[in-house]
Amino acid sequence: MPLPTPHLEKLNATLANDKLPPADEPRIKAAIQRYGQWIAGLTAVTGTPQKRIQAMVALLNEYRLFIDVELVFDSPQDFLYRQKGQLKLDNSVIEEFLPYLVEPAVLPEIAGHEVVVGPTTCFSSVYFSTSLEVPVVGGGLEIRSKDQDFAISKKLFLKASHDPVFPDPESVTKETHIGFVVSECKTNLDKTMFQEACATAHDVKAAVAGARYYLLCEWLDMTPLSTAPTDIDEILLLRKAKRINSNVRAKYATYAGRQANRAAYQTYLTDNPFRPEVFKRFVDHIRGILRNEAPVESDVLARGYF
């Protein structure tokens, strides 16, 4: 099954954006070509799972530096930099990268599992839009769902009817995905985003009791808080670094300011790259979930706990 391409979709959407300055059109087209080289490099990686992670993260750092500096920061116009939060050219790179970590070559335990990997819309809750005075076919079965940046999920079909035989004219069928591992990808993590993630994690686990929720962020922009009282399983800091201070970032608003501070900005990015060991930890979390087995009575009695 082909892997999802959320980053390529963002590049194409930016190219088609009516507000994109003409001077940036060839830059986006060049980025699309560079994207193709990045994907070709990822698919050509070989070796042990550990070596694959190391090599793929190195390719991620190289490509992301190009996006951040050469495409966005070096643009003579201000559109790409000021609108990068809406365009999502940066964090969509991570969304596209994560499925490569869940390939059998990196995570052998995933082989044989019929799952969908990557950004998807997952089941959140179900409700019925019906009443005695206005009856609806199948009880008016409706599904609430939420877009997830990354998920390991399975397709789920729900069918409802007032007739136990489920005849077609008298029943309704809904299709969704049930998320077993769900992750949000944030460029910067501040307190507001943390609180939103806590609420999302709660909803994820209310919908699927055995689900796991991980928050992946590049830059820390808050004082760390314990995740113990929350439904977040873990927050992973992909760069192990804090966000550039706001007084420094204010200088980047204009082309002249960006050029004057380009060397320092690039140095900060190269000194704080994506860390292979953090991605490995994420993979190990998934590996642990896949290796979980139902306890055997004889083993439990021998150990004295389970």
Residue type, 75: S
pLDDT tier at 306, thresholds 50, 70, 90: confident
Position 1 pLDDT exceeds 90: no
Mean pLDDT of 146-154: 96
* Distances in whole angstroms, Cα of residue 176 to Cα of each of 146, 154, 294: 10, 9, 27
Helix (H, G, I), strand (E, B) or coil at 83: coil
| 181: alpha, beta or left? (left if phi > 0; alpha if psi -120 to 50) | beta
Per-residue DSSP letter, 57: H
pTM of the model: 0.93
Pairwise CA distance, residues 255 & 262, whole Å: 10
Mean pLDDT of 256-278: 98
Distance of CA 215 to the CA centre of its chain: 9
Residue 153 host element (H or E): strand 141-161
What integer pLDDT is reported at residue 236 of this predicted model?
A: 97
Position 67 pLDDT exceeds 70: yes
Pairwise CA distance, residues 71 & 24, whole Å: 9
Q: Round the average pLDDT of the chain to a whole number and report it.
A: 95
Pairwise CA distance, residues 11 & 36, whole Å: 12
What integer pLDDT is reported at residue 158 of this predicted model?
A: 96
Mean pLDDT of 15-40: 97
Position 104 pLDDT exceeds 80: yes
What integer pLDDT is reported at residue 75 of this predicted model?
A: 97
Position 122 pLDDT exceeds 90: yes
What integer pLDDT is reported at residue 200 of this predicted model?
A: 95
Q: Among residues of the chain, what percentage have pLDDT more than 70?
A: 99
Tokens of 193: 């985003």
Position 135 pLDDT exceeds 80: yes
pLDDT in tens, 180-189: 999 999 999 9
Provide the sign of the torsion angle of the four alpha carbons 236, 196, 175, 208, taken in this order.
positive
Calculate the dihedral angle through the C-alpha atoms of 131, 135, 137, 143, rounding to the nearest 10 degrees.
Answer: -20
Tokens of 298: 């004889």
CA 225-227-230 angle, 5° bins: 120
Residues 6+ apart with CB under 8 A from 162: 138, 139, 170
What integer pLDDT is reported at residue 294 of this predicted model?
A: 67
pLDDT in tens, 204-243: 999 999 999 999 999 999 999 999 999 999 999 999 999 9
Residue type, 169: P
Mean pLDDT of 148-172: 95
Pairwise CA distance, residues 118 & 113, whole Å: 15
Mean pLDDT of 292-298: 74
Q: Pairing relation of β-strands 171-189 and 234-242? A: unpaired
Position 279 pLDDT exceeds 90: yes
Residue type, 100: Y
* Distances in whole angstroms, Cα of residue 157 to Cα of each of 122, 130, 143, 227: 12, 20, 11, 33
Position 49 pLDDT exceeds 70: yes
Q: 204 exposed, middle or buried (CB, 10 Å; 0-12, 13-18, 19+)?
A: buried
Paired residues of 65 in beta bridges: none
What integer pLDDT is reported at residue 88 of this predicted model?
A: 94
* Distances in whole angstroms, Cα of residue 34 to Cα of each of 9, 78, 162, 191, 258: 14, 22, 55, 35, 23
What integer pLDDT is reported at residue 293 of this predicted model?
A: 66
Position 284 pLDDT exceeds 70: yes
pLDDT tier at 295, thresholds 50, 70, 90: confident
